[in-house]
């Protein structure tokens, strides 16, 4: 059973940040999600960093998978590009 909850968001946070690059890494205690903006001939700049527990990271993975499936059912299959790999982190853009 899902409990009802409210999300409050400040106007600044509600504006959001655009990201076209994500780097995911982890330690034994947390997952780190760095969202960055990558532009040609410039270093990528992290616009937001999220740290969360392994349990929340797994719940996020499930929620993201479900939302991608709903999106594809409504709008068609999302074409993928091959992600760039670096060390133990995964980058996608």
Domain count, the chain: 1
Helices (H), 1-93: 11-14, 54-75
pLDDT-based confidence at residue 83 (cuts at 50, 70, 90): low
The answer as to whether 7 is a domain residue is no
pTM above 0.85, yes or no: no
- Domain around 65: 19-77+87-92
The answer as to whether 10 is a domain residue is no
pLDDT-based confidence at residue 82 (cuts at 50, 70, 90): confident
The answer as to whether 6 is a domain residue is no
What's the pLDDT score for residue 87?
Answer: 41
The answer as to whether 52 is a domain residue is yes
The whole-number average pLDDT for the span 14-19 is: 96
Phi first, then psi, for residue 89 (nearest 5°) are: -100, 155
- For residue 54, is pLDDT > 60? yes
pLDDT-based confidence at residue 2 (cuts at 50, 70, 90): low
């Amino acid at each position: 059973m899902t409990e009802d909850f409210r999300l409050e968001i400040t106007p600044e946070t509600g504006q959001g940040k655009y990201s076209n690059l994500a780097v995911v890494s982890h330690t034994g205690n947390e997952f780190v999600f760095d969202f960055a903006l990558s532009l040609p001939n410039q270093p990528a700049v992290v616009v937001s960093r999220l740290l969360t527990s392994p349990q929340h990271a797994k719940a996020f993975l499930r929620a993201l998978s479900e939302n991608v499936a709903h999106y594809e059912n409504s709008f068609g299959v999302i074409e993928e590009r091959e992600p760039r790999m670096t060390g133990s982190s995964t980058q996608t853009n």
